[in-house]
A = this chain, B = another copy of it.
Amino acid sequence: MDKVERIGVSLDKKLLAKFDDLIAKQGYQSRSEAIRDLVRQRLSSESLNNPKASAVAAVCLVYDHHATMVSQKLIDIQHSHILQAISSLHVHLDHHDCLEVIVLRGAVGQINKVAEGLLSLKGVKLGKINLVATDPNPAS
C-alpha cells in the first residue's frame, strides 16, 4: 500500500459537468478514480515511446487454423528465451478462423520485433499489438 497525496485541481464548471457526465456513463464511481486513470494512461503511453521500457503486450492474431505455422512459431519463441513470459489464449471464431491472444513481456522494442514477426506469418489474416507499459509501474 503506497502513500496517497491529495491535490487540488481547478476546473471550469462547464468542463467539470461534461467530465462528470462522461465518467458516470463509463461507470466510474469517483472523479479521483477517473483522473487517476487519465494520469496512468498518459504515463503509460509516454513510456511506450521508449524501446527499452518494460511492457506487457497482448498480441491478437486472427488466423486460419489450417495454417499451422502460427502455433509452431509460438513454440519457437517460447524456446528462444528472448521474452520473459508468454501465455496464450485461443478462441474459436468459426470453422475457418481462430483468434489467438499471445501475452508477451519484455522491452518495448523486443516485443514489437517479435509481434511483427507473428503478424507477418503466412496464414495470419489480421493482427494488432496492444502494449501496456509496466515500467513507470503505475503503482496504485
Contact = CB atoms under 8 A, between A and B. Distances in A.
A75 interface: no
B60 A31 contact: no
A83 interface: no
**Which one of A56, A116, A125, A134 has the greatest number of beta carbons of chain B within 10 Å?**
A125
B12 A4 contact: yes
| Chain A interface mostly | mixed
Interface string A25-61: 1111111111111111111101000000000101010
Stoichiometry (number of copies)? 4
A81 interface: no
Given A8-B7, A27-B121, A89-B88, A138 B116 contact: no
Interface size class of A (residues with CB under 8 A): 35 or more
Contact of A85 (B9, B41, B91): B91
Contacts of A138: 15, 18, 62, 125-126
Nearest to A121: B27
Contacts of A28: 120
A103 interface: yes
Nearest to A2: B12
A66 B132 CA distance: 20
Contacts of A44: 126
